[in-house]
Amino acid sequence: MNRSRKVVVLCHCLMNANVKVHPLATYAGVLDLIWTRFASQGVGLYQLPCPETSFLGLSRWGMTSEQYDHPAFRRHCRQILSPCLDQLEALHRDHCSLVGIVGLDGSPSCGIFRTCAGYRGGEIGCKQTDAQGQAENVSYVSGRGIFIQEFLAMLDERGIAVPLFSVDEKFPDIIKTF
């Protein structure tokens, strides 16, 4: 039996930068750190779906956590996570160690320790609502993204606890844990 019985759970774009909001990708496809820190150590990689791409596609604007904090988006997150939870529970029951969840800090959906906030209403490009000021109003704040909130709640409902890690795209050579 060669299997390591170790799996790390990754936000989708850590293995596929092509789903990010244009033009946010700072690496071509797979973040190098995922290979060096996990794959080369025999840890299996479990890639979660990208909730923003399946909800709004690749023509979406960058948005804040307030904008994604809506029952329809939360329901969408739960729908796409449901089969993932079934697989992760099967691995867990098979005595496979879920060594961590790696999220993407700053994301309104996948932030683990930090997310982005600051929506103040209005239409992009409309002078009355001051798009420039709106962009400047966005900031990174402590807290989890909406998708991660739902994911952690669903893991909790199944009695599965997993350590949390995150990558900040401004410092892609570092994985944070607390």
Query: Residue numbers of the site for ligand SF4 (CB under 6 A)?
Result: 11-13, 19-20, 50-53, 104, 107, 109-110
Nearer to ligand SF4, 51 or 100 (CB): 51
CA dist 169 → 57, 74, 87, 94, 98 (Å): 21, 24, 28, 33, 23
CA dist 144 → 44, 52, 92, 117 (Å): 25, 15, 24, 11
Nearer to ligand SF4, 62 or 97 (CB): 62
Residue 53 to residue 164: CA distance in whole angstroms: 23
Cβ of residue 43: shortest distance to ligand SF4, in angstroms? 19
Cβ of residue 31: shortest distance to ligand SF4, in angstroms? 11
* Edge-to-edge strands, sheet with 171-177: 44-47, 6-10, 97-105, 164-168, 171-177
Cβ of residue 50: shortest distance to ligand SF4, in angstroms? 3
Give the residue closest to ligand SF4 by C-beta: 13
Nearer to ligand SF4, 47 or 97 (CB): 47
Cβ of residue 150: shortest distance to ligand SF4, in angstroms? 12
Residue 26 to residue 94: CA distance in whole angstroms: 36
Nearer to ligand SF4, 129 or 171 (CB): 171
